[in-house]
Structure 1
Amino acid sequence: MRRSEFLRAVETEFQARAASLINDLVLSALGNRTAVEALADGAPPRDIWLALCVEMDVPENRRHGAGRQEPRRR
C-alpha cells in the first residue's frame, strides 16, 4: 500500500472524521503514535491502515484492497 492509497482508504472509510483520526488518534499498535507520526517515522502505510482499522473496528471485508483505484479500462 502506498501513502496515497492509505490516505484514499482513510478518506473513503472515515469521511469527515479522516483528518482528525490520522492527526489525533494515538494508536498503541504503532508505539503510541498517531498515523501522521508513524508515516513521518517511515512506518509502512499498510501497517498504519490495519492498526487504524483494528482501533476503529472496521470490518475485515473493508480492510483489504482499500484505497486502490480501479484499473484503467483498455
Structure 2
Amino acid sequence: MQTQNPFLDEIAKLTTAAMGMAQAASEEARSAFRAQADRAAAELDLIRREEFEALKAEVAALRADIQAMRGQAAAD
C-alpha cells in the first residue's frame, strides 16, 4: 500500500515550479539574444539569407539577359 508523504509532495511541487521558471527564463534569454543580434545586424547593414538568395537569383537572371543581348548585338 502506498501512502502520500506531504514533504515529498511539496518537494515535487517546488521542483516542477522551478523547472517552469527555468524554462521561462531560457525562453526570455533566447528572445533577448535574438533581439540583440537583430539590432547588431541592423546597425551593420547586414541582410537576411532569404534576401541575399533573392538578390543572387535576380543578378543571375540579369547576367543571362546581358549575355543574350551581347549575343544579339554581336550577330547584328
TM-score by length of 1: 0.19
Q: Which has the higher contact order (CA 8 A, sep 6+)?
A: 1
Q: Give the structure with the larger helix fraction.
A: 2
* Pair member with larger Rg: 2
